[in-house]
Each structure stands twice: as C-alpha cells, then as structure tokens.
Amino acid sequence: MKLVQVSDIHFGGENRKAVEAATQRIHEEAPDLVVVAGDLTLDGKTSEFNAAAAWIDSLPRPTLVVPGNHDTPFVGPSELWVRFTRPWRRFKDRFGPEDGVDWRGPGLTVTSLNTARAAQLRWNWSKGAVSRSQIRRVVDVLKAAPSNDLKVVVCHHPLMEVLGGPMTARVRGGVDAANRLVEAGADIVLSGHIHLPFVTAIPFGDGKAQLVGSGTLSLRERGAAPGFNVIDADSGCVRVTALAYERGRFEVWRTWAFDRR
C-alpha cells in the first residue's frame, strides 16, 4: 500500500511552483490515500481555505485532512471573534469534521486526532494538546482494527519532541497519548508542524511504532527544501521517502525503512 503525506502548505504563503509540481508528482505516485496533516492556511482566512480546498480537490482520491494551529482565524478583531466562537467552521465547511475521522482500506486503518486548539491556558496557542477523551476514542479505533492492518494516526503536532528539530510542539498530553497509542497497536503517527521531514521511534512498548513528520510546501522553510513524504508499506516493512523540490523538480531528499510489528 502507498500513502502520500503532505502538511504545512500554508496557502497565503505557499511555494506556488512547489505546490504545482507536487500536484503532478502525487498523481504519478498513485497513492491509496493522501493524508494532509494540518496547516493548510497561513492565517485561517476564507480565501486561503478556498485555495486549499481547490488544491486538495485536484489531488487523487481519497484524502484525509486534519487541521493545524494556523487553520483558525487570528488576524484582526472580526477574525478573532470567529476564532473564539466557531474556530473550525471554515475547515469543516470544506473538509468535514476536524477531529475523529476514520478511513479504512485493505490492510489499512487510519484515524485522525486534532491536536490544534483555538485557545489555551498558556501564552503560546500554537502548541499542541491532546485530551483524555481524544485518546480514548483513538485507542478504541486502533483496538477494533484487524490485527494485521497497518494502523496509522494522523495529527498536526508531533506528539513527542523531535531531537534536533527546528522548533518545538510541546503537546500537552502528548507523551501519554503516544504511550497509549502504542499500547493499542499504532504503527505510525503522522504529523507536520516543524516543517522538516523526520522518522523517529516512539520509545514505548516494543519500540517499533514510529513518529513520521513531513516537510512544508510553503515559503516558510526550516532547514529543508519544500517537500512531502511517500510512504510504502508491505507485510514486513515500511519505507518513508522524503521528496524535496529542488531545481524545478521533486527529488529524493532522504529515505528511512523500519520493520512492521
């Protein structure tokens, strides 16, 4: 099976040439599922959401989309009012529920977890959070999945800090969530947020569950060219290929491989 993982396109600040080239490359990859791991927009504006929806509609189906911290309005008094009263309305109108979306295909179970918050009891609202009720729901989905399925969770913020990453996620409840998801059988947790592709083992259970992050398709680069991930899985192994947009085309930037549980 094959997944494409994109995140942090930030329409309103997107790298237009990279986005255009990504559209063609994703069609060439012919994935079983396209996962969009948050931060579709730059400022949560209606025009940015419209651009994001048009682009995602141009990609191969099916798609699974989760929001990120940039996908709530926050520029100007009227936008802040929307943020506090209907933070996910623009997202939901175009992509469906912001949390708890499940997708199943042959040998594959995917579920989503919204780690973004419109407001928090801390200064930096861009950081992530996971509630106990969210953890319980995802655990139930994973435990109900067929035992041989590849079990994937999609969120925006990495649940645990990435060593050497260019920024932090500081997800409240993230370490507990990672531990519980591994106990429930998660194989991969896909995320974005830090604008740099990575693969790192979750240090719980048998150590075979992995955090997998994708880069950005925006102008907000943090140490890597614009890019996205292609994930290939068979019965014994998962391979992650980070593609980078350089010299007018997507080329392999780095690859990882790890054994399935």
pLDDT tens-place string over residues 133-151:
999 999 999 999 999 999 9
CA dist., res. 194 & res. 216, Å (int):
8
Confidence class of residue 6 from pLDDT cuts 50, 70 and 90?
A: very high
Once rounded to an integer, what is the mean pLDDT over residues 140-166?
A: 94
Most confident among 60-69, 78-87, 113-122 (mean pLDDT): 60-69
Burial degree of 232 (CB within 10 A; 0-12, 13-18, 19+):
middle
pTM over 0.75: yes
Strands (E), 85-195: 102-105, 108-112, 150-154, 188-191
Q: What is the CATH number of the domain that holds 155?
A: 3.60.21.10
181 pLDDT higher than 80: yes
Strand partners, 72: none
Domain count, the chain: 1
Once rounded to an integer, what is the mean pLDDT over residues 124-134?
A: 95
- Check: CB of residue 184 under 8 Å from CB of residue 134: no
What digits encode the pLDDT tens for the residues 8-25? 999 999 999 999 999 999
Q: What's the pLDDT score for residue 60?
A: 97
Share of the chain above pLDDT 90, in %: 87
196 pLDDT higher than 80: yes
Once rounded to an integer, what is the mean pLDDT over residues 226-244?
A: 97
Number of residues written out for the chain: 261
Q: What's the pLDDT score for residue 152?
A: 98
Which tokens hold the place of 106? 């042959």
Q: What's the pLDDT score for residue 73?
A: 87
Q: What's the pLDDT score for residue 83?
A: 76
- Check: CB of residue 125 under 8 Å from CB of residue 117: yes
CA dist., res. 153 & res. 10, Å (int):
22
Confidence class of residue 167 from pLDDT cuts 50, 70 and 90?
A: confident
CA dist., res. 11 & res. 220, Å (int):
11
* Domain enclosing residue 154, as ranges: 2-259
Q: What's the pLDDT score for residue 76?
A: 66
Instruction: Tell me what the pLDDT averaged over the chain comes to.
Output: 95
Q: What's the pLDDT score for residue 163?
A: 84
Burial 120-133 (b: 16+ CB within 10 A, else e): eeeeebbbbbbbee
Once rounded to an integer, what is the mean pLDDT over residues 209-231?
A: 96
